[in-house]
Amino acid sequence: MTLYFLASWFVVLLTTGAAIAQAPPVAEPQGGRVFCEQSVGYQIADPSTISESYRRFLGAWSDAAWDANTCAALIVDDVKPDGIASIIYVYGPLGPNVHIAGAVLHGTGVIRDDELRFQNSDGTQFIFRPTIADLLGQMTTPKGQTYQAAFKKTF
């Protein structure tokens, strides 16, 4: 009985140790903040590792509203040399009295010709262009409705 217990314990330790050894490292969030009533953790890449032509997109951008009820934020946490950007798009209610479902969406976008473009799962398309200090966002729904908003750099 004791030998069986020790052998079982050894198997548990062995399999647990293997799982821990194979698990990818988890990065600690550099920043964490509430955007649009959604709690978001993120880690922005070191700007010195990003091509100069893409650096202006890097960071957290918020304080935007597509309409009177919908808040939005965008986090560009990394950009690869080919212009593929790792993004977090956040949307939700604009204020506590608005009853709009919000979400935090993780995905990728593409930077070409000084524009960041991506599309979400329902077909809504997004384009972001840098201005002097902000990102100007444009959202086009699958029904063709178009909205614009200025996204402010968040520090």
**Least confident piece of the model among 99-103, 117-121, 129-133, 139-143:** 99-103
CA-angle at 96, arms to 95 and 98, nearest 5°:
75
pLDDT confidence tier of residue 89, bands split at 50, 70 and 90: very high
pLDDT confidence tier of residue 97, bands split at 50, 70 and 90: confident
Can you give the pLDDT at residue 30? 55
Alpha-carbon span 155 to 149, nearest angstrom? 19
Can you give the pLDDT at residue 47? 96
Percentage of the chain exceeding pLDDT 90 = 72
Alpha-carbon span 92 to 73, nearest angstrom? 9
**Least confident piece of the model among 37-51, 69-83, 87-101:** 87-101
* pLDDT over threshold 50, residue 138: yes
Domain boundaries, the chain: 31-154
Mean pLDDT of 129-149: 97
Nearest CA-CA partner of 74 in 15, 116, 46, 113: 116
Of residues 8 and 135, more confidence is placed in 135
CATH classification of 31-154 is 2.40.128, yes or no? Answer: yes
Residues 12-46 have pLDDT tens digits of 333 333 333 333 333 334 568 999 989 999 999 99
Please tell me the pTM assigned to this model.
Answer: 0.78
